[in-house]
Chain A
Amino acid sequence: MDFRKIKGVFYPRTDEQVQEAVAWARERGYDVTPKGGGSGLSGACTGGDRDRVMISSLQMKEVLSVSKDQGYVDVQPGATPDEINVLLAPLKMKFYVTPSSRDVATVGGMLNTDGGGNDAWVNGTMRDNTLRAKIVLYDGRLITVEQKSVKSSDSQLESDLNSVGMTINDVASSHGTLGFVTELRLSIRPIVQERLIGGLAEYRDSDELGSTLRRMIETKSPVKYGEAIVAAHPDVRGELRPPELILEFPEDYASNLENITHFRKLTAEELAKLKDVRLKLPKRNPKKGLQLALFEDYGFYGDGLKMIQEGVAGIDLLLKKHGFVPFAKYGHAPSKWYLGNNAAAYGIILHSREIRPEGITKAEVFKAVMELVDLCEEAGITPKPEHKWPYNDKVKNDRIQQIREVIGEGFNTFVLQSDCNVVLSSMV
């Protein structure tokens, strides 16, 4: 990271201030990198190594209006799910996309990574819950992207974008390459008072866990919370017995679930404790050394769920080859994410943490990352389904390029550069 290449940092509060910041960058020929809460792990909000201007959404955190009847809330991009839900609570309404980083992650950032929570399985990802997004483009024009079309006061631009079929799907996972989101209309729904109970299912191996997930997906299981612990280092294992599945589901679903998997019912306290253990796994360190999210998560879906064991073994073999010690593997299951062609994938988002070897060079770390990407491609695993690995997603990148031909370039270009890998390796 060369600080000298960051030519300006802006913290706008209004659309106009965003336009001014973008104009400042444009007049000087700098790229613009939007940044939200910074909790994501795609690396896109670093802006790579170009001369660039950073525009943060951290001071655009107002909830602008709420329509309980029509089920939406208009918010600025820097609001977090927690902040939105505090305001919605008295109305007994909720914004249902709540990742574990919901206290920090901004909704603008979450749309740009198409983030979801551990309950994306039932509540969808950001694109499923964003009705529209207002975006400032590099040339200063404003567009409103909706679920099926685009609106703009510039009729030619509106027509051009609609002719290429731009929708909210294109903004989702675009990693700041299209523009700066200044406002979002998000879907909200009533808080449902439902009696939920907890359960813990333990498995012989990860394939058995995967088969259970397949059946849950096929039967559209109404599980509200599902977290799989596939592996945990002794330093953080505690009472965990991986592979296991922590579940929370409607009480009247218990007998149906028993037809899918054996499980032990949990008391509310046991469930809360296990949720807390899971929540803190990404943040805890080993007794010796430091943990690292070398490659944040892996998406196993479809037939891949039958081969989690083999997939994880391959990943671990590769990690060990490069000197990393596997530290923990856990994740949302069942879950949902979208592939580059906007098709939904259902499976497990398996997070991974490693112990960083001492003295490893940046080049070696990056080599390991690239080999993991190759391994994912060969094995039909989605690389980083939650936090995204946009750099090798040809389908998505081609689509972004198509839209940028209409709206212009200038936003976070490094993500789409052919030499992106070189840039990324320099940032390790």
Chain B
Amino acid sequence: MTFEKCVRCGSCMKICPIFDAMGEEQYSPRGKLYLLQVMDKVESDPELAKEFRRLLFQCAMCGRCTDVCSSDVDLLRIWHEQRARAIKDAPQEFAYLGALEKSLENVKNIYGLSPEDRAVYWLDELEQEIPNLRKRVFPEAKTADVVVFLGCLMSFRASQVDVLRALFKSLEILKVDYLVLGAEEFCCGHPLDLMGDEAGAKKLRTHNKRVIKQTGAKQLITCCPGCLSQLQNNYNFTGIEVLHHTQFFDRLLQSIEPYKQTEEFTYHDPCELHRICNVKTEPRSLLKKMGVQFRELELSCCGGGGLLRMTDPNLSDKIQQLRAAREKLSSTTVITACPACREQLLGNNLKTKDIIELLVTCLSEAKG
């Protein structure tokens, strides 16, 4: 039990977005670890035990506490394990997560929509602009060097279509041999992983892995750091390289036509990309190659991770609002590289662009 290694130095407290928003010790990683250390006392009081289980899901799972800990406490692992335990011990307290679990079990996406619809909305929207796009969708497209794993957010949300447009156009301009999994893509399993449902996540992974293998892909790319963390860390692919789209394009392009910048940019590191997948240099390298000037933001969470939008939407919004005020975000366009961060920023009326949206402008300019 690595939580016993916590020396309660408090380094994790002030950098925790939940503590920042709530201001009370029990919301901080240190506070939660302390409760774990005295769990016998917590469990002897049913109300306290219930409160502790609730606290476990008031967490953005951003991993900043793990990052800052010098005592070798793997806090993220602890949160995963304790979440699983909480749901197992008191499923009735997490009934609101049941709909999500059911959706993932029945229709394999987080929205409860028909699996067939996974390649309907964006295809309808983009087909005219990218005429061959339909032929890029599996199983009509059977094999390709590069497979694009879209993830639930990008497959179903209208707010993501601009990013998809930019992604597909960039791939077309660069003549990449790619296909999109379409209706055969299931959720990557990330939400279930965050709930500690390993068995459910495994089922989804098994299906995805089989389909991806059929395509003969050499590279698997995704714009979603949540999907990336699953594909990289839990799928155990052999012979298939899993990349974030910023990694893929940064490797592919040695130089890029300069971006004609007319607005003030900031860059927000998605937590799962930066801390969990350790992708730090490529997004910045791409921006540098495009000559984009930007202000670095704090390495803090947008508030949209760890299922927090489901478990405590008000807290999730408050985290973003505090950041927006502190880092003066309303006067800038926040560049990021994550569909969940994008949703969170747009939901709080902030301007945002994925890096790929800037890139496609440069590539189109170069193409003339």
Which residues of A approach B to under 8 Å, CB–CB?
1, 3, 9, 11, 37-39, 56, 58-59, 80, 101, 103-104, 280, 282-285, 290-291, 293
> Which A residues touch B70, using CB under 8 A?
280, 283-284
**A11 B24 Cβ-Cβ under 8 A:** yes
B14 interface neighbour in A3, A11, A104, A284, Cβ under 8 Å: A104
Residue contacts A-B, CB under 8 angstroms, 6 given: A3-B45, A104-B13, A282-B7, A283-B9, A283-B69, A291-B7
Chain B residues within 8 Å of chain A by Cβ, number = 21
**A290 B41 Cβ-Cβ under 8 A:** no
* A427 to B: closest C-beta gap in Å: 12
Query: CA–CA, A39 to B8, complex, Å?
Result: 7
Closest 4 CB pairs of A and B: A283-B70, A104-B10, A59-B23, A280-B70
B23 interface neighbour in A58, A104, A285, Cβ under 8 Å: A58
* B46 to A: closest C-beta gap in Å: 13
* A367 to B: closest C-beta gap in Å: 22
* A52 to B: closest C-beta gap in Å: 16
Residue on B nearest A59 in the bound complex, by CB? B23
A38 interface neighbour in B8, B38, B41, B45, Cβ under 8 Å: B8
Q: Provide the B35-74 mask, 1 if CB < 8 A to any CB of A, else 0.
A: 0001001000100100000000000000000000111100
B25 interface neighbour in A38, A39, A285, Cβ under 8 Å: A38
A3 interface neighbour in B10, B25, B41, B71, Cβ under 8 Å: B41
**B72 A101 Cβ-Cβ under 8 A:** no
**B13 A283 Cβ-Cβ under 8 A:** no
Known: A58-B25, A104-B13. A284 touches B41 (CB 8 A): no
> Which A residues touch B8, using CB under 8 A?
38-39
> Which A residues touch B102, using CB under 8 A?
none
> Which A residues touch B48, using CB under 8 A?
3
Query: CA–CA, A291 to B23, complex, Å?
Result: 29
> Which A residues touch B71, using CB under 8 A?
283-285
Give the number of A-B contacts (CB < 8 Å): 53
- In the assembled complex, B5 has its CB within 8 A of some CB on chain A: yes
* A178 to B: closest C-beta gap in Å: 23
- In the assembled complex, B4 has its CB within 8 A of some CB on chain A: yes
- In the assembled complex, B11 has its CB within 8 A of some CB on chain A: yes
> Which B residues touch A101, using CB under 8 A?
9-10
> Which B residues touch A37, using CB under 8 A?
10, 13
> Which B residues touch A11, using CB under 8 A?
23-24
**B23 A283 Cβ-Cβ under 8 A:** no
* A315 to B: closest C-beta gap in Å: 20
**B7 A293 Cβ-Cβ under 8 A:** yes
Residue on B nearest A283 in the bound complex, by CB? B70
**B14 A103 Cβ-Cβ under 8 A:** yes
Query: CA–CA, A59 to B23, complex, Å?
Result: 6
Tell me the chain B residues, 177-191 only, with Cβ under 8 Å from chain A. none
Which residues of B approach A to under 8 Å, CB–CB?
4-5, 7-11, 13-14, 23-25, 30, 38, 41, 45, 48, 69-72
Residue on B nearest A37 in the bound complex, by CB? B10
* A105 to B: closest C-beta gap in Å: 8
* A326 to B: closest C-beta gap in Å: 17
**A285 B72 Cβ-Cβ under 8 A:** yes
> Which A residues touch B10, using CB under 8 A?
37-39, 101, 103-104
> Which A residues touch B9, using CB under 8 A?
39, 101, 104, 282-283
Query: CA–CA, A291 to B9, complex, Å?
Result: 13
Residue on A nearest B26 in the bound complex, by CB? A9
Query: CA–CA, A323 to B10, complex, Å?
Result: 28
Interface centre among A3, A280, A283, A290 (most CB of B within 10 A): A283
Query: CA–CA, A290 to B1, complex, Å?
Result: 11
* A351 to B: closest C-beta gap in Å: 12
Query: CA–CA, A159 to B322, complex, Å?
Result: 46
Residue on A nearest B42 in the bound complex, by CB? A3
> Which B residues touch A104, using CB under 8 A?
9-11, 13-14
Query: CA–CA, A33 to B366, complex, Å?
Result: 67
Query: CA–CA, A11 to B70, complex, Å?
Result: 28
* B65 to A: closest C-beta gap in Å: 13
**A80 B7 Cβ-Cβ under 8 A:** no
Interface centre among B4, B7, B48, B70 (most CB of A within 10 A): B7
Known: A3-B48, A11-B23, A11-B24. A285 touches B5 (CB 8 A): yes
> Which B residues touch A1, using CB under 8 A?
38, 41
* A293 to B: closest C-beta gap in Å: 7
**B72 A284 Cβ-Cβ under 8 A:** yes
Known: A282-B9, A285-B71, A293-B7. A56 touches B14 (CB 8 A): no
> Which A residues touch B24, using CB under 8 A?
9, 11, 56, 58
**A103 B7 Cβ-Cβ under 8 A:** no
* A223 to B: closest C-beta gap in Å: 26
Query: CA–CA, A385 to B70, complex, Å?
Result: 24
Residue on A nearest B10 in the bound complex, by CB? A104
**B11 A103 Cβ-Cβ under 8 A:** yes
> Which B residues touch A38, using CB under 8 A?
8, 10, 25, 30
Residue on A nearest B73 in the bound complex, by CB? A285
Query: CA–CA, A37 to B9, complex, Å?
Result: 9
> Which B residues touch A103, using CB under 8 A?
10-11, 14
**A283 B7 Cβ-Cβ under 8 A:** yes
> Which B residues touch A285, using CB under 8 A?
5, 71-72
Residue on B nearest A281 in the bound complex, by CB? B70
> Which B residues touch A283, using CB under 8 A?
7, 9, 11, 69-71
* A13 to B: closest C-beta gap in Å: 9
> Which B residues touch A280, using CB under 8 A?
70
> Which B residues touch A39, using CB under 8 A?
8-10
* A56 to B: closest C-beta gap in Å: 7
> Which B residues touch A58, using CB under 8 A?
23-25
Query: CA–CA, A284 to B70, complex, Å?
Result: 6
Query: CA–CA, A338 to B69, complex, Å?
Result: 32
Query: CA–CA, A3 to B71, complex, Å?
Result: 26
> Which B residues touch A9, using CB under 8 A?
24
Query: CA–CA, A293 to B24, complex, Å?
Result: 26
* B39 to A: closest C-beta gap in Å: 12
Beyond A58-B25, A282-B9, A283-B11, 6 additional contacts (C-beta under 8 Å) are: A3-B48, A38-B30, A56-B24, A56-B25, A59-B23, A103-B10
* B30 to A: closest C-beta gap in Å: 8
Query: CA–CA, A80 to B13, complex, Å?
Result: 12
> Which A residues touch B25, using CB under 8 A?
38, 56, 58
Query: CA–CA, A357 to B25, complex, Å?
Result: 30
Query: CA–CA, A80 to B11, complex, Å?
Result: 12
> Which A residues touch B45, using CB under 8 A?
3
Query: CA–CA, A370 to B190, complex, Å?
Result: 51
Residue on A nearest B72 in the bound complex, by CB? A285
* B10 to A: closest C-beta gap in Å: 4
